[in-house]
Structure 1
Amino acid sequence: MSDERRFFRGFGVPFTQMFKRVVTEQYPDVKTPVRPRYHGRHQLNRHPDGLEKCVGCELCAWACPADAIYVEGADNTESERFSPGERYGRVYQINYLRCIFCGLCIEACPTRALTMTNEYELADDNRQDLIYEKKDLLGPLLPGMAAPPHAMVPGTTETDYYLGKVTGAVAVQIGEVEARRAGTWTGPAADDEEVTA
């Protein structure tokens, strides 16, 4: 191939691109949806009654290739129960300065406590704010959930929780009990009903 032909062939690509319409993303104003399986910010999930799914096993921290996760487990007691098992994650931190969003921590979690959301806006002007604590990672309390610590749903075991037998209807019972104890219950009045857990 001659030099002249090579020259014009090389300029052919930019020349054809000059006449194409430019597509500009209006990112801060218009956020385009991401794919459903996008790996974004992590979330610690809860059972339907509000107890945490994390049992403090630290498998996610061991699986993390970037050493971005720190977990410190502690034992549950009957007076202070945060998860249905024997243990719970007392300290849970994810350092997003290190995280590579690979999802290996999600695969390692035996209770499906850790999942990844579609949230991708994690930029900050302070490095300390990119280390997310447990309070930042916990999923929101939905209707019928009560903030831990509280007892398990009456008549259930930890196996029932892990098999998914504790449903929203059962969870509403424990949420109602906790709300009555706190004096914030707005539902129907109980006729000489004793509030027990």
Structure 2
Amino acid sequence: MSKTFLGPIRGFGVTFGTMFAKPNTQQYPEEKVPTAPRYPGRHQLNRYADGLEKCIGCELCAWACPADAIYVEGADNTDEERYSPGERYGRVYQINFLRCIGCGLCIEACPTRALTMTNDYEMADDTRTGLIYEKHQLLAPLEPGMTPAPHPMPPGATDEDYYRGHITGTEEQA
């Protein structure tokens, strides 16, 4: 027999063999399988223990992003409106998940560990604009004992106290 005759027969053999194999079906929306602990999912902007934001608006994450998926616009903190312990905060923070490739370079670039990735992978949407997440969608939820920003730092505290982890969130707010 010639090779031109046996080629299609081998191909049909593979098809015929898989027709009777047990299907490997996952019932995804009904049965969710847990992700790996370090799965790079949706980004999150973290907070300090008292509720102030860790983002200082330095824009290093946007510079590090190879897909140009992050837009940050920093602004100065004032004594009346303090969003982070430093001089600046991220006034506008957007991540375009249509562009994000999940590489994690933005996480590595962040000097304050303000940006991390969660295990959340369900980000489908009907519109393109729904996949551009704004700051309020990216901020970590307030835990018990946290006060929503803006609020002043505890009396006598400095930004270095925040960065070193000395602020626990139980201090009295001025």
Residue 173 (structure 1) aligned to one of 166, 171, 174: 171
| Residue 110 of structure 1 pairs with residue 111 of structure 2 | yes
Which residue pairs with 2:18 in the alignment?
Answer: 17
CA–CA separation in structure 1 for the residues paired with 2:99 and 2:6: 49
Which residue pairs with 2:100 in the alignment?
Answer: 99
Query: Is the partner of 1:159 in helix, strand or coil?
Result: helix
The one-letter code sitting in structure 1 at the alignment partner of 2:27 is: Q
| Residue 120 of structure 1 pairs with residue 121 of structure 2 | yes
CA–CA separation in structure 2 for the residues paired with 1:154 and 1:70: 33
Over the matched positions of the two proteins, sequence identity in percent amounts to 69
CA–CA separation in structure 2 for the residues paired with 1:82 and 1:7: 68
CA–CA separation in structure 2 for the residues paired with 1:155 and 1:14: 73
Query: Is the partner of 1:139 in helix, strand or coil?
Result: coil
The one-letter code sitting in structure 2 at the alignment partner of 1:164 is: G
Q: Cα RMSD over matched residues?
A: 1.8
Q: Which moved more, 1:29-38 or 1:5-14?
A: 5-14
Deviation at 1:66, TM superposition (A): 0.8
CA–CA separation in structure 2 for the residues paired with 1:16 and 1:112: 52
CA–CA separation in structure 2 for the residues paired with 1:39 and 1:26: 22
More RCO (CA 8 Å, sep 6+)? 2
Q: What pairs up with 1:25-64 in 2 under 5 angstroms? A: 25-64=26-65
CA–CA separation in structure 2 for the residues paired with 1:84 and 1:22: 55
Deviation at 1:31, TM superposition (A): 1.2
Q: Deviations over 1:29-55 (max 9, x none)?
A: 111111111111110000000000000
CA–CA separation in structure 2 for the residues paired with 1:15 and 1:132: 47
Give structure 1 regions of 4+ aligned residues with deviation exceeding 6 angstroms: none
CA–CA separation in structure 2 for the residues paired with 1:14 and 1:70: 49
| Residue 86 of structure 1 pairs with residue 117 of structure 2 | no
TM-score, L = length of structure 2: 0.91
Q: Which moved more, 1:15-24 or 1:94-103?
A: 15-24
Which residue pairs with 2:74 in the alignment?
Answer: 73
Query: Is the partner of 1:160 in helix, strand or coil?
Result: helix
Deviation at 1:153, TM superposition (A): 2.3
Which residue pairs with 2:165 in the alignment?
Answer: 164
The one-letter code sitting in structure 2 at the alignment partner of 1:50 is: G
Higher helix share: 1
Unaligned runs of 5+ in 1: 178-196
CA–CA separation in structure 1 for the residues paired with 2:105 and 2:12: 45
The one-letter code sitting in structure 1 at the alignment partner of 2:96 is: N
CA–CA separation in structure 2 for the residues paired with 1:31 and 1:88: 37
The one-letter code sitting in structure 1 at the alignment partner of 2:145 is: G
Deviation at 1:156, TM superposition (A): 2.0
